[in-house]
Amino acid sequence: MSSIDTLFTQLRSAGRKAFMPFVTAGDPDLDFTAEVIRRLAAQGCSLFEVGVPYSDPIADGPVIQASFTRALGHKIRLADTLATLGGVTPEVRTPIVTMLSYAIVWRHGLERYVAEAKAAGAAGAIVPDLPVEEAGPLAEICRREDFSLIQLVTPLTPRDRARRIAEQATGFIYYVSVAGITGERATLPPEIVENVAWLRSQTPLPICIGFGISRPEHVRMLAPVADGLIVGSAIVRRIGEGAAKSRAQVLQELEAYVGELLAAMTG
């Protein structure tokens, strides 16, 4: 079992749901990324998704695209991200997964990427631009190494294809709440609940919902049907807007915001 499998087993036994922040590695710098992980882990977050900056957007909205651009401007690369994870993972008990383009994995080498990510303490990877038809070689390596390969299902994914994705994925299924790109939204479509209920009938894997989640009311709507919730753009935006503030203030504001969402999960 991977550390992600262990985590969800523990959460289910305790009747709890996972809260998973997304942060961009190196925005504004890697020391700050590590400190965000430390502080939010201490606050009660269950997992972290760390984005490896990439020049071509995959499903990322303007907020995360801008954070990638800033990080790339600071010359942040995969090796830098893994070195940072290697420093912070021994300090926190929360699994961390990398989110990155398959082009990065391919250039690095599949076996080498999994080996180095594991050595840095990463528990798995989300590779949004890797279709299920081409994911077999990486999925096989990940299964052998107990390294979770989290795959995405969207509202537009045909059900037969969703079943194939669920059969191949490990760790958890990332259910994309809305068609389109990442970003904060005022409302989320009500059919998410029905779609996730159907997907749950097809797989024993945990299901985590992401894209558009940014408000306590979103959390209260989705927490009952999900095993976990992923919040990205709202966190990345707050970090990006903090350039004129002290780092202590940005961290305090992040903790306050995440605290509201965590309270909504249990309230």
CB atoms within 10 A of CB 90: 9
Task: Please calculate the CA angle 207-210-211 and round it to the nearest 5 degrees.
Answer: 155
> How far, in Å, CA of 265 to CA of 267, rounded?
6
Angle between helix 247-266 and helix 233-240 axes, rounded to 10 deg: 160
The DSSP bridge partners found for residue 140 are none
Catalytic residue selected from 5, 27, 60, 80: 60
Q: Are 105 and 127 in contact (CB under 8 A)?
A: yes
Three-class SS of residue 88? Answer: helix
Give the CB-side neighbour count of residue 238, counting CA atoms within 13 A: 23
Could you say which of 5, 27, 49, 184 is catalytic?
49
Cα–Cα distances (Å) from 203 to 13, 59, 170, 174, 200, in that order, read 18, 24, 11, 12, 6
Q: Are 128 and 157 in contact (CB under 8 A)?
A: no
Q: Structure tokens of 29?
A: 């710098």
d(CA 189, CA 144): 37
> Is 60 labeled as catalytic in the residue annotation?
yes
Q: Are 194 and 225 in contact (CB under 8 A)?
A: no
- Return the active site residues: 49, 60
